[in-house]
Structure formats: structure tokens, C-alpha cells
A = this chain, B = another copy of it.
Amino acid sequence: MQAQRLNLVLDSVMRLARRGAMSNALNLLTKLRPVDIAQILSQIPQHDREPIFDALVRHDLAKAAEAVSEMETVRAVTLLTTLTREEISRLLQELPSDDAAVLIAEMPEETRDALLETMRVEESTDVQELLGFADETAGRIMTPDYFALEEDVTVSEAITALQKRSEELEMVFYVYVIDPRNHLLGVVSLRELLLNPPSTPLRKIMITDIIKVRTDTDQEEVARIVATYNLLAVPVVDEENKLAGIITVDDVLDVMREEATEDIYALAGVSAEDRVRGSAFNSARQRLPWLMLSLGAALLAVAIVQYYLDTISKALWLAVLIPVVAAMGSAAATQTMTVVVRGIGLGEVSRETSRRVVVKESLVGLINGLTVGVVAFGVISIWFGWKVAVVLGLTMLLSLFAACLLGALVPVALKQLRADPAPASSVFVVTLTNVVTFFFYLGVATLLIKFLHP
């Protein structure tokens, strides 16, 4: 819905609720799509939100459940905890088990167990199975509510079966074809069902060269596969090729958003939960560790500068140029890390190509180190004389080369060690680059001064 229309509805709902005309407010609200209800609930100030949500749960549980599943997880959990456990478990039962699992996973452990006990056995088992898979894997984000038939079933039988189960199935795009022991044999698209004669058995029209993922496949890899092969849903199988669930393209869109945000944030040292809309205190607390790391790294540079204090006292221009020495290595390192980390995220860096990536980035460092070095030499030789300029020019060459080499090497190495390349790389690379750069800068200057004024 348009932001303006949404704001109008938001205002009306709040006015009605405050005036005590709650049933009018609910009538307005329940006419909307679940996503829009979620948006409105998220924007209502907290003290108004809870009574409205409470009334909505009692008025239309299914709609309330759908709205909750469209909210950001943290916000949804906060809202849910204002309800009684009884209400929460009834609401969770309305949701597909993958959505319920996401919410339950975020709850405090004791609430979690209590909830699973009060839920209907069937739903509770599904959710517990999903929670058994590791976080950020296909098993965790899949839904076990797929539509599967055996290979002798005909097109018309398949359509009848689909019509019967259409209520409970979230989104159906494909019919999965399985054997009696649930092994995945093939897949038939909904479109094929429409295009083939009613008596055709699925065996004849199914595709057997199936693109599938395993329950332990990383969710980032799942997103990549769905995007690459333009799929609407991908089947998830266990180690014996038994169909365990499916992941639909709308969930993949959410994964891609989430992973892209993680990549962007990691390079700047921001935690994945940090949002423009959260509380200032929370954001501040989450960003502090990174700032402390940066402070530590800068103090290391301070120690190096102090070590050469004698040299600096003889040539004050060394101090004046420190801002350039401190800035350029970080700038080049950040560029390289950004390209390499994003390349890893997009699946463009394999074990085979990683050496080529490191060589390429080192070359970039050499070329730009040379260029920046020459420009810096030119500017500084006019400003401070050629001796100073030589030291700074050489420092730039070395600094940018080290920055690009390390900026590629560290994330690639972390990836080979199966660690997440993004978060750890940044401070480490910049610190290392700065240590090398400062030692070189002040070391060369010390030699030069000894040589010129023995």
C-alpha cells in the first residue's frame, strides 16, 4: 500500500482506539493485507500498540498470526510476550511451521519449552524438527508443507489432490514426485499440469534432473541457487535424498536481504540487529566493541610513533604528514575487502580462483600505490621539498600494496578456513596495514635523517 494511505489508516486506527471505539479500529485494520497490518502495528507507539494487538488477537486470530509472521522477528517476539502463553501457542498454531519455528527460536528458553508443550502434537513436532537444524541452513528455513505425489498419479488426479489440499498449503508452484519411501524422483510445474492431457501420468512429464539442496546447505548458497536457476521453490532433501521440505522464492528474497545487510554491516563493524529504527542505547552498545577495537589499533600506531619520537623531534614535517599515512592504507584496504567479501558472498570466489583474486588485488595495489605515490610526491615536493616527498611517496606505494594484498588475502583465507570472511577481516587488515605503513614511514625517515645529518 502507498505510504500515504498507510499513514491515514494508521492515524484513524489510533484515534478510534484512543476514543475506545476498538471494534471500529479492528474493522479498519482487518480489511488490510497482513503485511500492511504488520507495518501499522510496528508504527503505533508502544502504549497504544499492545491493547490494539490484544484486541486483534481476540477478534481475528488467523489475521493476527499472519500479521505477526510479516513483522521483523525481534519486534514480533516482543509483541507476542504481551499475550498469555495459551494465546501465544494458539496463535503459533495458525502459522506455517517454518514461520512458527523462527519465532520460537528467538524466545527465552523456558517460554520455548512451555510453548512447545501446549501446542498441538503435530505442529509441535514439525517445529521441533525444524529447530533441530543449525541456524542459517536450508533445514531451518524450509517448510515441511510441500505437495508431493507418486509417479503413477495422473495429471487429473494431481489436480484433484491439489484442489483438496489447497487450503492448508502455503504456496504451491511445483508437484514433487516421490517414491513410496519418500525419495525425490522428479518435479512437475503447475504450468505443466495445465498444459498436458488429464490422463498423462506424472512420470511422463516430470523433470528428473532436479536442482535441489540438502538440509545442511547454507542459506546463502540456497539463495544463490534459486536466483541462478530462476526457481520459484527448491526442494530440500536429507542425506538419503528423502524429501524433507521446500524453500519458496519469497523466503529466498528475505534471506538475500538479510545476507546483504550482514555483508554491508560487517565491513563497518555494525551488528546485524542494528536498525535505523531501534533504540539509541542499543545501537550505541552494539557499536562500541568495534570502536574499542579501532581505538586499540590506533593506540598501536601511537606506540610506533612514540618509538620514533626522537626522529620526529628532528623533523616535524613527519608529524604533519601522519594524517596522510594513517588514511590512505585504510581507504585502499576497505576498497579491496569490499570487492572480495562481496565476491565471496555472490559465490564468485571458488577455491580454484582464490589465488587469482589475491594476485589481481595485489596488482591493483601496485598500480594505485604507484599512482598515488607519484601524485603525493608531486604535491609534497612543492609543499615541503623533495626529501620529504620521497619518503611519503615510497610509503604510499608500500602502504597501498600491503593494503590490497592483505585486503584480499585475509578474507580469502578465512573463507578457506570456513569462517565467515566479513566481520573479522576489517579491523585486522587495517591494523596490520597501518603497522607496516608506520614502521616503514618512520623507519625510512630515520635512515634518511641519519644519512643526511650523520
Contact = CB atoms under 8 A, between A and B. Distances in A.
Interface of A: 3, 7, 33, 35, 159, 162-163, 166, 171-173, 190-191, 193-195, 226-230, 232, 249-250, 252-254, 256-257, 260-261, 263-265, 267-270, 274-277, 279-281, 283-284, 287-288, 290-292, 294-295, 297-299, 301-302, 305-306, 309, 312-313, 316, 318-324, 326-328, 330-332, 334-335, 337-340, 342-343, 346, 348-350, 352-353, 357, 360-361, 363-364, 367-368, 371-372, 375-376, 379, 400, 434, 438
B305 A320 contact: yes
Contacts of A281: 367
Contact of A326 (B287, B316, B322, B372): B322
B195 A342 contact: no
Given A298-B327, A334-B268, A372-B295, A349 B276 contact: yes
A343 B332 CA distance: 25
Given A256-B256, A287-B368, A353 B277 contact: yes
Contacts of A228: 35
A195 B163 contact: yes
Contacts of A332: 287, 291
B328 A375 contact: no
Contact of A249 (B190, B232, B254, B324): B232
24 contacts: A3-B350, A33-B229, A35-B229, A172-B191, A194-B194, A226-B253, A249-B253, A264-B267, A267-B338, A269-B335, A275-B339, A276-B339, A276-B343, A280-B363, A283-B364, A287-B332, A294-B327, A301-B324, A302-B320, A302-B323, A309-B320, A312-B316, A316-B319, A319-B319
SS class of chain A's interface: helix, strand, loop or mixed?
helix
A32 to B, nearest CB: 10
B324 A298 contact: yes
A141 to B, nearest CB: 15
